[in-house]
Structures are given as structure tokens and as C-alpha cells.
Structure 1
Amino acid sequence: MRTIYLIRHCSATGQAPTAALTSTGFQQAQDLVSFFENKEVEHIISSPYLRAKQSITLTALCKQLEIQTDSRLAERILSDIDLPDWMTQLEQTFTDMDLVLPGGESSREATNRAIEVIKEVPNHSILVTHGNLMSLVLKHFDDSYGFHEWKSLSNPDVYMLTINNSSTNISRVWNEKSNTPT
């Protein structure tokens, strides 16, 4: 059995790969240190985006672990053009997993790259990613996750995946909206 913590990054200044955490985001990153203090963590893998790395840096320092980056944990690109109705388009990608918008990747493509990482990581790992990709990973293991669950994610958000040979159990173990672990 493997335990993997899947984290959505803390509050950030924007969506660009170089967007940093806000002052609130840095406080949230400190809260993650406390959250993981008594949890067994042996590996930390992050999206290469700055906000993801900043979200877990303090925890890595506390645990005396290096942060590995993996581009397969980067946010899913919905499209490379401005979509005035992007929210409607995003919702459609949760029901049509093969829908590809101009310059983007399908939900299935994004899910597959993230699942590759999950299959490779050892027990007691933290994976830091982004909201859309995180919700697609959760949907992979439980089809009831979708657009509305994506909308209800917080920054940060933490889910624990407990994986054995035949099944994966998903538990939401953080709720930033109430500022407490669940």
C-alpha cells in the first residue's frame, strides 16, 4: 500500500508559470509545514511552476528533503488562445475527456501524464500541482469528481491517496475554507 499526498498550490498572484505566492499564500505554505509535521514524507515532487514550488519549500526544508520537479505535474493548458467562455469550455472537458481546444490538451492527455507520475512515485510522497490537473487525477480514481468539485477546491487543498493493488481510496485531508485539516 502506498500513501501519496496530492496538493493544490497555495494562493498565488496569477496563472503564469512564474506567478509567485501572495502574502496569504506564504502563510498557507507555513500552515502546510504544521500539517505535515507528524506525517511520514520521504519524497516531494512539484510542478515546475513557481507557485507550486513555493507552496512546499518550507515543508521540504523542515523535512530535510529536496524538491524534485516534474513537468508532468504542470497545469493543464486548456487553450493557447483567449476564450471568453473558458469556464463553459472547461466544464465541457470534464464530460468529453477527448475535447481538445486550440493549442490545448485534452483532459485525457493531461490525466494520463499525471497518472504516470503517480504510478512512479514511491510510498510517502507529496505531489504538488494545480487545480485543474488535480481534479482530473481525482476523477481518474473516482468518476464522481468533475467540474463542480474543481470549483470547490481551495488554495491550498490536500487529498490523500491510499493506493493498493486493486483500489485507491481518496480522502480530503485539508480544508482551507475553514483553515483546518479535515
Structure 2
Amino acid sequence: MPTIYLVRHCSATGQEPDAALTEAGERQALELRDFFQDVPVTRIISSDYRRAVASITPVATASELPIETEPNLRERTLSLEPRDDWFELLRHSFEDNSFALPGAESGQDATTRILNVVGRADGTTILVTHGNLLALLLQHVDNRFDFETWRNLSNPDVYRLEIVDNFWSVERVWPVPTCG
């Protein structure tokens, strides 16, 4: 019965696979380290994009765990070409999970890809991914998660996914509530 922490990467300089974290993103990665300090993490699996790995490196160092990189946690490819209408296309893709532009990936295909990784999680696992892919997984678990969920994700963001007897429940656990 795994517990899976789904982490969206910290603030980055861009969307390219080699985009680094911003200065704020570097601070956020340390906040993630502090957030996970009392969580008995047994495994870390991350998108192989630089911003995802950099987001979880302080946690891995503090936990003395290796980071397993996994291409199936990469961001979804909505279009092979830059598009002015990408925002509306993304909205539509949440309403019709079979929608895909030529050569790109449907929401259904991307969800299947991340579910493949979720199915291999064991113990207390952290999966580090990207906003669109994370939102699609959340929608798969609970259809109340939708395009607006994606719009309201933060960098970073953390959800806890519990799987007990094939019953899946998900809860947002970031940002950490503050007193006062």
C-alpha cells in the first residue's frame, strides 16, 4: 500500500529540458527538503528534466537516497510547434482526453504514461513531474480536478496519493499551512 508524493518542480528559467531553477526555485527546493524532513521516504523517482531533478536534489541528499530518473515523468507534449492558441488547446484537452494535435500526445496517452510509473511505486515514494502531467493524473484519480486545477498549481506543488485496497485518494499538502 504505497504512499506517493506527487511533486511539481520548483520555479524554472524556462520549459526546455535543460532549463535550470531560478533563484526562487533554488530556495523552493530547500523548502521541499524541509517539508520532507520528517517523512519516511524510501524512493525518489523524477522526470529527467534538469528542473525536476534540481527540485528534489536537496531532499535526496538529506534522505541519502538516489534519484531515479524516469522519462515517463516528462511533461506532456501538447504540440510539436509553438502555438498562439496553446492555452485554449490545453483547456480543450482536459475536456476531451482523447484530443491530440498531429504528432503530439493526448491527455489519455500522457495519463497512461504516468500511471505506468505510479504502478511501480512502493513504500513512500516521491514522484517529481511537471504541471500538465500532474494535473492529468489528479483528474484521473478524481474528476473534480480539471483545467482550473492545472491553472492553480504552484511551483512547487505537492499532493499525497494514498492507494489502499485499490482505492485511491489524493490530497494537496502544499503549501505548508502557517500559524498566525
Alignment of 1:47-126 (within 5 A): 47-126=47-126
Q: Could you tell me how far apart the structure 1 residues matched to 2:159 and 2:62 are?
A: 20
| 2:18 matches 1:30 | no
2:25 maps to a residue whose letter is: G
Aligned to 1:166: 166
Q: Is the 8 A contact 1:81 1:102 kept in 2?
A: no
2:159 maps to a residue whose letter is: Y
Q: Could you tell me how far apart the structure 2 residues matched to 1:30 and 1:134 are?
A: 21
Q: Which runs of 5+ in 2 are unaligned?
A: none
Q: Deviations over 1:49-104 (max 9, x none)?
A: 00000000010000000000011000000000121110000000001101111331
Percent of residue pairs identical? 48
Q: Is the 8 A contact 1:41 1:124 kept in 2?
A: yes
Q: Could you tell me how far apart the structure 2 residues matched to 1:23 and 1:82 are?
A: 27
Q: Deviations over 1:8-40 (max 9, x none)?
A: 000000000000000000000000111000011
Q: Is the 8 A contact 2:2 2:121 kept in 1?
A: no
| 2:9 matches 1:21 | no
Q: Which runs of 5+ in 1 are unaligned?
A: none
| 2:157 matches 1:157 | yes
Q: Is the 8 A contact 2:46 2:67 kept in 1?
A: yes
Aligned to 1:7: 7
Q: Is the 8 A contact 1:12 1:19 kept in 2?
A: yes
1:130 maps to a residue whose letter is: H
TM-score w.r.t. the length of structure 1 is 0.96
Aligned to 1:146: 146
Q: Is the 8 A contact 2:8 2:130 kept in 1?
A: yes
TM-score w.r.t. the length of structure 2 is 0.97
Q: Could you tell me how far apart the structure 1 residues matched to 2:165 and 2:69 are?
A: 26
Aligned length: 178
SS of alignment partner, residue 120 of structure 1:
coil
